[in-house]
Structure 1
Amino acid sequence: MSDRAALSGCNFTATQHSTTYDYISPIKLDLAGKNKSEVNIYKKESYNLISIKEMNLIRTGVSQIALVDLHGVSDDLVEKLKLAATQAGRSEPVVLSCTVDISNEASVQAMYETISENFDGRLDIVVNNAAHMKPYKPLLDSDPSAYWRTWEVNIHGLLNIARAFLPMQFSTRASSNGLCTMINVSSSGALSARPGSASYRSSKLPILRLTESLQMEYGDQGLLTFCVNPGAIKTKITETLPEKVRDSFPDSPEIAGDTIAWLAARRVEWLGGRYASCPWDMEELMKRKDGIIEKDLLKMRMAF
């Protein structure tokens, strides 16, 4: 295994998965009566990562879901989500579509008001999935505005969403024992360096520390927050990568979708403030609970 692979923690569990498996099947999960918001910042395609995640969360029985995207959400995808729910034997959910620039506070506030009104001020789960990636170039060859836009979206955008929606999650937790779960999507790229990708990788690194800090600050109000690496998946955002790099990506969108749905459907309290990778075997990860807690693993630390 390469040093980069070792540093990225891809072998933390002895078994890894590139596609879904029975243990995390959304058909076995139950989020009936729960409300969920999905935050995206790049254009949707019929079979990209985001559509798959939404499909899988819908199959868990979530009753209301808000899809938040820079370019909006197609009516076709909304109908596909409703159909996926009924085909899984679930009630047809309310699907709310919002167009927003999450790096803009006023845009986020307007979106918050729309979701609050339509969800009656109730929100259980937020999947904070902001993503922007500039073309693969070294610093001096890159466009400074595109470089900074990556930080504006991946960090400022995530902060805007957290500031807007955490109070609604706390209220739901207090009034009806809501799940109060925020899943921040980071990347294994945050754990290692690669020439030409500094803006993206460095923008995903602070998410790990922010997640740990949010858990410390608001855990006593019921918040359960952790960050995930969705896997190495060919999505629209990766089209800026060199083909050699992109072609090496082994994971399917389903491994991210089903793992995030599985984690969202339960309160894995001890995972709060920590990092998990969707291709890891979740059953094995749960069995490692005691060792992870004892050694305080899956958090950002500098080795001395």
Structure 2
Amino acid sequence: MPDPPLAALNNFTPTQHGPTIPPNLSLPDTPLPPNFTILILGASEGIGEHIAHAYARASAHTIILSSRTLPNLQRVKSTLHTINPAVRVEILPCDISSPPSVETLSDSIKNSINRLDCTIVNAAYAPPITLKTHLDSPPDVQRAFDTNCMGTFNAAHYLVPLLLSTDNGARQFIAIGSMAGSIRRGHIANMGYCVSKMAQTRMVEYLHEQYGAAADGGLFALTVHPGAVMTGMARGNTPETFVPFLVDDVGLCGAFVVWVSKRVGRGELGWLGGRFVSATWDVDELVGRREVVVGRDLLKFEVGVE
């Protein structure tokens, strides 16, 4: 039986995108802010790599690629220079689940670049999917929380101060979350991935409450569902019954978050701060729902009461 809250969330805008990137995400009408410097955690392949492609096409000044291992990042760097020879690309290793590793990353950015406009937390871990808790592997569930939940905390703890201290910075913190954090039943309703992704989304809400006001730094924090994409992490780890749903373009999320970065830079999307959105939603229709989103404080987790 479908999960009603998930169905409502998935269809929040009447028009859905996914298999192709819609034209209203591809218009080169708005530039990124000058000297725009972005860090992508989990940039070695899949969605993270294509987020980097999107920012290179959008003429970001500096793109910092990070993951636990470096070889794939060299390939991504070469691709970015093919897309945009003018972009500055830096490679810095980081294990997001390790506080010392994230602290070292933050120090390296401060010392070598001394600027950070946007942090995108894309690094994630999905354990083998089981639908009964007694079948879960405790080490796998622990790894999911260490990466998806504590990894987002580590990134916020060490990188938000750098975002806020950057002169004329864009001050953006974007977590690549998942609608899986909203489900309770169905093909992939498992304890490790779904609950850790729910916690990640809640953390972003906290970041908005703590730093979103101008007096507290004016941080723009957002969680973005990237669509249902057949990534390397999903391949071989997804139940066969769910595979037919993994049809969204791997580049959709990148196009969406570039749209976000540009509009935040123009002061147009502050009302979305602290909320959960989906890259599959039509952006014009999303903006058209601003009044109801703000008035009812939608797109956040809550306990339903009557």
TM-score, with structure 2 as normaliser: 0.90
Could you tell me which amino acid in structure 2 is paired with residue 191 of structure 1? Answer: S
- 2:90 counterpart of 1:96: yes
Q: Which digits, 9 at most, give the CA deviation of each residue in 1:246-292, with x for residues without a partner?
A: 23212111211100111122211000111101100001101111111
Aligned mates of 1:223, 1:112 — CA distance in 2: 17
Q: Which digits, 9 at most, give the CA deviation of each residue in 1:199-221, with x for residues without a partner?
A: 10000001222111111111131
1:18-33 matches, cutoff 5 A: 18=18, 19-25=20-26, 27-31=28-32, 32-33=34-35
Give 1:107's aligned residue: 101
Give 1:16's aligned residue: 16
Give 1:62's aligned residue: 60
> Is residue 98–residue 111 contact of structure 1 (8 Å, CA) maintained in 2?
yes
Aligned mates of 2:277, 2:184 — CA distance in 1: 19
1:8 Cα deviation (Å)?
5.6
Structure 1 unaligned regions, length at least 5: 87-91
Aligned mates of 1:4, 1:250 — CA distance in 2: 21
> Is residue 66–residue 73 contact of structure 2 (8 Å, CA) maintained in 1?
no
Could you tell me which amino acid in structure 1 is paired with residue 184 of structure 2? Answer: A
Give 1:162's aligned residue: 156
Q: Which moved more, 1:2-11 or 1:148-157?
A: 2-11
> Is residue 21–residue 255 contact of structure 2 (8 Å, CA) maintained in 1?
yes
Aligned mates of 2:286, 2:151 — CA distance in 1: 30
**Judging changes above 3 Å, is the alpha-carbon distance between structure 1 residues 26 and 202 closer, same or farther for their aligned structure 2 residues?**
farther
1:224 Cα deviation (Å)?
0.7
> Is residue 8–residue 189 contact of structure 1 (8 Å, CA) maintained in 2?
no
Could you tell me which amino acid in structure 1 is paired with residue 208 of structure 2? Answer: Q
Aligned mates of 1:146, 1:3 — CA distance in 2: 25
1:75 Cα deviation (Å)?
1.9
Structure 2 unaligned regions, length at least 5: none
Give 2:204's aligned residue: 211
1:3 Cα deviation (Å)?
3.6
1:150-299 matches, cutoff 5 A: 150-172=144-166, 175-176=167-168, 178-194=169-185, 197-220=190-213, 221-239=217-235, 240-267=237-264, 268-299=269-300
Aligned mates of 1:22, 1:81 — CA distance in 2: 22
> Is residue 108–residue 160 contact of structure 1 (8 Å, CA) maintained in 2?
yes
1:30 Cα deviation (Å)?
1.4
1:196 Cα deviation (Å)?
5.6
Aligned mates of 2:144, 2:59 — CA distance in 1: 34
> Is residue 276–residue 300 contact of structure 2 (8 Å, CA) maintained in 1?
yes
Give 1:89's aligned residue: none
Q: Which digits, 9 at most, give the CA deviation of each residue in 1:43-80, with x for residues without a partner?
A: x34xx222211101111111011111112243221011
1:25 Cα deviation (Å)?
1.0
Matched residue of 1:102: which SS? coil
**Judging changes above 3 Å, is the alpha-carbon distance between structure 1 residues 256 and 219 closer, same or farther for their aligned structure 2 residues?**
same
Aligned mates of 2:17, 2:57 — CA distance in 1: 21
Could you tell me which amino acid in structure 2 is paired with residue 10 of structure 1? Answer: N
Could you tell me which amino acid in structure 1 is paired with residue 68 of structure 2? Answer: L
Could you tell me which amino acid in structure 1 is paired with residue 242 of structure 2? Answer: V
Aligned mates of 1:248, 1:222 — CA distance in 2: 37
Q: Which moved more, 1:4-13 or 1:263-272?
A: 4-13
Matched residue of 2:247: which SS? coil
Aligned mates of 1:39, 1:200 — CA distance in 2: 18
Give 1:146's aligned residue: 140
TM-score, with structure 1 as normaliser: 0.90
Could you tell me which amino acid in structure 2 is paired with residue 270 of structure 1? Answer: W
> Is residue 54–residue 255 contact of structure 2 (8 Å, CA) maintained in 1?
yes
1:11 Cα deviation (Å)?
0.6
Aligned mates of 2:223, 2:189 — CA distance in 1: 24
Q: Which moved more, 1:98-107 or 1:18-27?
A: 18-27
Could you tell me which amino acid in structure 2 is paired with residue 272 of structure 1? Answer: G
